[in-house]
C-alpha cells in the first residue's frame, strides 16, 4: 500500500471515529434530556394551614414534605421526581372535599396525603371512592370505618383509646370525666370509652362537648370542680386546648390532683399550648419523640436539620412520614404510580418506622402499631410511662357492639348534626 492509499485509509478511520463520537454524544444528550423531561409524579398534600386546626396540621405538612424531599434526593420514584401540590383546607370540611376533588380531577395527583379531623376525612372519603383514588390518613381516630381507598396510618381505638382507659383504671381511676370537641371523633371515641368503662365498673361523671375553636371553658371548669373526677379524658382538638389548660391552671386544678389524658395533643402542640400549663398531664399515642432507637434518632436529626433544632415531632407527623414511605414502596413495587396498581401492592407493606415496625393489614388497610402513654415534662416532651411489648393488631370496630350497631350510631350522629360530621356554630 503506497503512502497515498495509507493516507486515505487513515482519513476514513478518522471520519468513522469522529462520527462515532458524535453519535455517542448525541445518544447521551438525548438520554439525559429525556430523563430531565420525565414528568413529575404529582401528589396532593391537603391540610389546614389556617383556622382552628392549623395549630396541629401545619407540622404534619412539614413531615410529609420531609419524606418527599428525601425520596427525591435519592433519585425519586421510577426515575421521576415527586411534586407536592400543597393546599390549605382552612379547617373547613366542605373546603377539604372540594379541594380533594380538584386535586384529583384538575391536578391529576397520584395520591392524597390529607386530613386531621374525622369530619374532614368523612367528607373526603366519598370523593376518593367515587374516583377510585387513594388517600393516606395520618391521625389516630375513632375507627368505625374501613375503605379500600384509604390507608389509615394513625391508631385505631384499640391502639390508643382503650389502652389509655385501661391504664387509668389500673392506676386507680374510678370516676372519669369526658371532655371533647363537638364532632364525630370525640363523640364516637367517648362512646367507645363508655362501653369500656361500664364493662369495668367505672363511672362516667360528666360528658362535655365544646364547638371546635371555642374558648368558652368556664362552665366546664365548674363542672370539673363539682364532679371531682379521678381523671379527665380529653378529646378536644385544635386551639380550644389553649383555653382549657390555661383555665385549669388558673383554677388550681393540678395534674397530681386530677390528671388529664389527652388523645390529640403531642409535642408540637405543647410548644403552642404553654408548657407551664401542661407539666404532669398525660397523652396516649403510638409515637413519642423520646423513643430510643436508631430510626427515631435519624428521624429527629433529619427533621431538625430541615426545619430548625427547636422543632418537635409528634405522632401524626411520624404517621404522615410513614404514609409517604409506604406509598413510595408500593409505587416502586408496582412499577407505576397508577392508583389501581399501587392499591394492589399496598397489602402487607411494612416499614421500620421511628416508632417501631409497622405494617398494613390487607383486610382493613390499617397499621399494626404499638400503644404508648407519656407524661409531659418541663422540656415539652413526654416521659414514656407505659408501652405495649409488641404492636397491636388494628380493630376499627370495637367488639362491644356489632358492626351494624356502630354504623347505626354513626348515622344517628350524622343526622343529628344536620347531615354533616360536626356541630355547626349557632
Backbone dihedral angles phi then psi of residue 86, each to the nearest 5 degrees: -95, 125
| CA separation for the pair 127, 135 (Å, rounded) | 10
| CA separation for the pair 203, 175 (Å, rounded) | 5
List alpha helices for 48-202, DSSP H. Answer: 54-73, 93-105, 118-130, 157-170, 184-199
What is the phi-psi region of residue 9: left when phi exceeds 0, alpha when psi lies from -120 to 50, beta otherwise? alpha
List alpha helices for 176-263, DSSP H. Answer: 184-199, 218-227, 240-250
- For 67, half-sphere exposure in the C-beta direction (CA atoms, 13 angstrom radius) is 24
Q: For residues 222-260, b (16+ Cβ closer than 10 Å) or e, as one string?
A: eebeebebbbbbbbbbbbbbbbbbbbbbeeebebeebbb
What is the SS3 assignment for 185?
helix
What is the SS3 assignment for 417?
coil
| CA separation for the pair 270, 241 (Å, rounded) | 10
| CA separation for the pair 275, 241 (Å, rounded) | 12
CB 324 within 8 A of CB 64: yes
CB atoms inside a 10 Å sphere around CB 11: 10
Backbone dihedral angles phi then psi of residue 206, each to the nearest 5 degrees: -165, 155
Q: In what order do the strands lie in the sheet with 231-235?
A: 203-210, 175-181, 231-235, 260-262, 282-285, 372-376, 382-387
pLDDT digits (tens, 9 = 90+) for 109-133: 999 999 999 999 999 999 999 999 9
CB 323 within 8 A of CB 360: no
- For 115, half-sphere exposure in the C-beta direction (CA atoms, 13 angstrom radius) is 31
Domains and CATH numbers, the chain: 41-155+291-370 (3.40.50.2300), 158-286+400-416 (3.40.50.2300)
pLDDT at 344 (0 to 100): 95
pLDDT at 348 (0 to 100): 83
pLDDT at 1 (0 to 100): 54
Cα 358 off chain centre by = 14
Give the β-pairing of 382-387 and 372-376: antiparallel
pLDDT digits (tens, 9 = 90+) for 332-371: 999 999 999 999 999 889 999 999 999 999 989 999 999 9
| Segments of the chain scoring below 50 in pLDDT | 3-4, 6, 8-11, 13-35
pLDDT at 29 (0 to 100): 35
107 closest CA partner among 123, 91, 131, 126: 131
pLDDT at 319 (0 to 100): 98
Q: Which helix (H) or strand (E) holds 329?
A: helix 315-334
What proportions of the chain, in percent to the nearest 5, are helix, strand and coil?
Answer: 45, 20, 35
Amino acid at each position: 500500500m503506497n503512502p497515498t492509499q495509507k493516507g486515505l485509509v487513515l482519513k476514513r478511520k478518522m471520519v468513522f471515529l469522529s462520527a462515532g463520537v458524535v453519535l455517542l454524544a448525541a445518544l447521551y444528550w438525548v438520554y439525559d434530556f429525556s430523563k430531565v423531561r420525565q414528568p413529575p409524579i404529582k401528589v396532593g398534600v391537603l391540610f389546614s394551614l389556617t383556622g382552628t386546626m392549623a395549630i396541629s396540621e401545619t407540622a404534619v405538612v412539614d413531615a410529609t414534605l420531609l419524606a418527599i424531599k428525601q425520596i427525591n434526593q435519592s433519585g425519586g420514584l421510577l426515575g421521576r421526581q415527586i411534586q407536592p401540590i400543597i393546599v390549605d383546607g382552612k379547617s373547613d370540611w366542605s373546603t377539604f372535599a372540594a379541594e380533594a376533588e380538584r386535586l384529583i380531577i384538575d391536578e391529576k395527583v397520584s395520591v392524597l396525603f390529607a386530613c386531621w379531623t374525622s369530619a374532614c376525612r368523612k367528607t373526603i372519603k366519598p370523593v376518593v371512592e367515587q374516583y377510585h383514588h387513594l388517600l393516606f390518613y395520618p391521625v389516630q381516630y375513632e375507627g368505625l370505618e374501613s375503605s379500600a381507598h384509604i390507608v389509615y396510618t394513625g391508631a385505631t381505638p384499640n391502639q390508643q383509646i382503650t389502652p389509655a382507659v385501661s391504664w387509668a383504671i389500673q392506676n386507680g381511676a374510678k370516676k372519669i370525666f369526658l371532655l371533647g370537641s363537638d364532632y364525630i371523633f370525640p363523640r364516637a371515641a367517648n362512646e367507645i370509652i363508655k362501653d369500656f368503662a361500664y364493662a369495668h365498673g367505672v363511672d362516667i361523671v360528666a360528658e362535655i362537648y365544646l364547638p371546635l375553636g371555642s374558648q368558652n371553658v368556664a362552665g366546664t371548669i365548674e363542672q370539673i370542680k363539682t364532679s371531682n373526677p379521678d381523671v379527665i379524658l380529653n378529646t378536644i382538638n385544635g386551639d380550644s386546648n389553649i383555653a382549657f389548660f390555661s383555665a385549669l391552671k388558673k383554677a388550681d386544678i393540678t395534674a397530681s390532683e386530677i390528671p388529664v389524658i389527652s388523645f390529640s395533643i403531642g409535642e408540637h402542640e405543647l410548644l403552642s399550648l404553654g408548657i407551664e400549663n401542661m407539666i404532669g398531664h398525660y397523652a396516649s399515642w403510638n409515637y413519642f419523640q423520646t423513643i430510643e432507637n436508631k430510626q427515631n434518632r435519624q428521624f429527629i436529626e433529619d427533621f431538625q436539620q430541615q426545619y430548625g433544632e427547636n422543632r418537635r415531632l409528634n405522632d401524626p407527623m411520624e404517621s404522615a412520614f410513614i404514609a409517604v414511605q409506604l406509598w413510595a414502596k408500593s409505587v416502586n413495587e408496582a412499577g407505576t404510580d397508577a392508583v389501581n396498581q399501587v392499591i394492589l401492592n399496598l397489602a402487607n407493606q411494612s416499614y421500620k418506622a421511628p416508632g417501631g415496625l409497622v405494617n398494613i393489614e390487607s383486610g382493613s388497610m390499617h397499621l399494626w402499631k404499638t400503644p404508648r402513654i407519656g407524661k409531659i415534662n418541663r422540656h415539652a416532651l413526654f416521659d414514656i410511662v407505659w408501652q405495649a411489648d409488641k404492636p397491636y393488631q388494628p380493630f376499627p370496630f370495637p367488639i362491644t357492639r356489632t358492626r351494624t350497631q356502630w354504623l347505626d350510631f354513626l348515622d344517628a350522629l350524622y343526622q343529628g348534626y344536620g347531615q354533616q360530621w360536626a356541630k355547626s356554630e349557632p
